[in-house]
Amino acid sequence: MLKRLASELRNFPGVTRKNPIGPLVEKFADHPENVIASFGEDAAVIEVGDEGLVFAADGIWDKLMRADPFWAGYCSVLVNTHDIAAMGGTPLAMVSICSTSNEGICNRLVEGINTGMDKLNVPMVGGHTNPDCEYNAIDVAIMGTIDLDHVIYSTTANPGDDIVVGIDLEGRVHPSFQYNYDTTTMKDKEILLKQLGSMEKLAQQNLVTAGKDISNPGMVGTAGMMIETCNQGAEIDINSIPKPKNIDMIDWIKMYPGMGFVVTTPPEKTEKAIEVFEKSNLTSKKIGKVRDHRKLIIKDRDKKETIFNFEKDKITGISCRKPKKQHR
């Protein structure tokens, strides 16, 4: 079981498709002083006057677009708001690039975007259309505000920290896409905003050292990406992974959940962090520890299996770039 889990994750496209990011990022030049953090983070952090801004973009996997344009449009809003929320920020506005020559697809795409906007309370303020395109695609960018004294970075976990997840388990495998566990379309706006706001609360109370939203690589894959960019390793106990009862672990481990975050906490703050997640309508558990051995290991009681050895393997391959300022 453990061997199979490790192998499934190692070869899961949701994880392996992150491989080309590192080399791409290295090609972009260094940044001016006002860019506090950028690659390796869910959103770039920029200082403008007295304001802190966060800026991110996400393209929707073309598999998902082919499967269900409404869901692709909806997800384009969901993943972008998550990028801002994961940093402890507040979404401000989005812009979109809609590429399709098919009016039916376009309408369903826009309906999905509209539904997402309503649920997650972020306006779409502009963008671009490619109405004569040979492909169908939706790309969205988002900006938000952030308190620069309380940012949750992805690159700042310390060895010895606990790894904690906060995740919504009440949902369904999305009928259009087997790797998506939808927990948001059936819930009220108030609950969703409370869940999204959990990270800002953790930031304001200085409870976490690092954090990220759980994206296509799934819960363990996302923890792996974070640990890799932190230049650390991790041990994750598969028996402590929160999971919906009716889904197999092999499937669950590869799923993109509608609402979920992974954070690292100093052990003395773990209980408080879990409390913040639970009060925000999320299920929260400690699932492992940050280690200094540069390996992503899963364990089942006394058995252990290495998924990645970052001395030679990579997920994104982004080398660790610590934020230029850290106020905490």
DSSP annotation of 32 reads: -
Location of structure tokens 């973009």: 57
Stretch that binds a second copy, among 133-141, 151-159, 173-181, 232-240 (CB under 8 A): 133-141
The 30-69 contact track toward a second copy, x by CB under 8 A, reads -xx-xx--xx-x-xx-x-xxxx-x-xxxxx-xx-------
Q: Is 188 exposed, middle or buried (0-12, 13-18, 19+ CB in 10 A)?
A: exposed
Q: Which of 72, 78, 143, 151 binds a second copy (CB under 8 A)?
A: 143
Please report, in angstroms and rounded to a whole number, the separation of the first and last CA atoms in the chain.
41
Question: Do the beta carbons of residue 227 and residue 187 sit within 8 Å?
Answer: no
Q: Is 189 in the site for a second copy (CB under 8 A)?
A: no
- For 155, residues 6+ apart whose C-beta sits below 8 A from its C-beta are 37, 40, 41, 210, 229, 230, 320, 321, 322, 323
Stretch that binds a second copy, among 11-19, 163-171, 217-225, 279-287 (CB under 8 A): 11-19
Site for a second copy in 65-104 (CB under 8 A): 92-93, 95-99
Q: Which is nearer to a second copy, 85 or 106 (CB)?
A: 106
Give CA–CA dist 231/142, Å, rounded: 28
Interface region with a second copy, contact rule CB under 8 A, candidates 107-115, 187-195, 205-213, 261-269: 107-115
- In this complex, which beta carbon is closest to a second copy, that of residue 32 or of residue 246? 32
Determine if 27 is a binding residue for a second copy (CB under 8 A): yes
Nearest distance in Å: CB 247, a second copy: 25
Give min distance, CB of 21 to a second copy, in A. Answer: 5
Nearer to a second copy (CB atom), residue 2 or residue 110: 110
In degrees rounded to 5, what are phi and psi of residue 16? -65, -25
Please report whether residue 20 would count as binding a second copy according to CB under 8 A: yes
319 touches a second copy (CB under 8 A) = no
Q: Under a CB-based contact definition with an 8 Å cutoff, are residues 224 and 306 in contact?
A: no
Rounded-to-integer distance, Cα 185 and Cα 256, Å:
14
DSSP notation for 144-207: EEE-TTS---SS---TT-EEEEEE----EE-TT-TTEEE-STTS-HHHHHHHHTHHHHHHHTT-
Bridge partners of residue 260, in order along the sequence: 167
Residue 151 contacts a second copy per CB under 8 A: no
**With binding defined as CB under 8 A, does residue 124 bind a second copy?**
yes
Residue 265's alpha-carbon distances to 9, 151, 190, 199, 289, in angstroms, are 24, 14, 27, 12, 9
Residue closer to a second copy, measured from CB, 98 or 214? 98
**Residues in contact with a second copy, total (CB under 8 A)?**
63
Minimum distance of a second copy from residue 169's CB (angstroms): 27
Among residues 134, 188, 190, 302, the one that binds a second copy under rule CB under 8 A: 134
Residue 324 interacting with a second copy (CB under 8 A): no
**Could you tell me the smallest distance in angstroms from the CB atom of residue 289 to a second copy?**
29
Residue 300 lies near a second copy (rule: CB under 8 A): no
Q: What is the CA radius of gyration of the chain?
A: 19
* Structure tokens, 14: 């949701």
User: Restricting to residues 209-268, which ones interact with a second copy according to CB under 8 A?
Assistant: none
Q: Which residues bind a second copy (CB under 8 A)?
A: 13, 17, 19-21, 24, 27-29, 31-32, 34-35, 38-39, 41, 43-44, 46, 48-51, 53, 55-59, 61-62, 92-93, 95-99, 106, 110-111, 113-114, 117-118, 123-135, 137, 139, 141, 143, 145
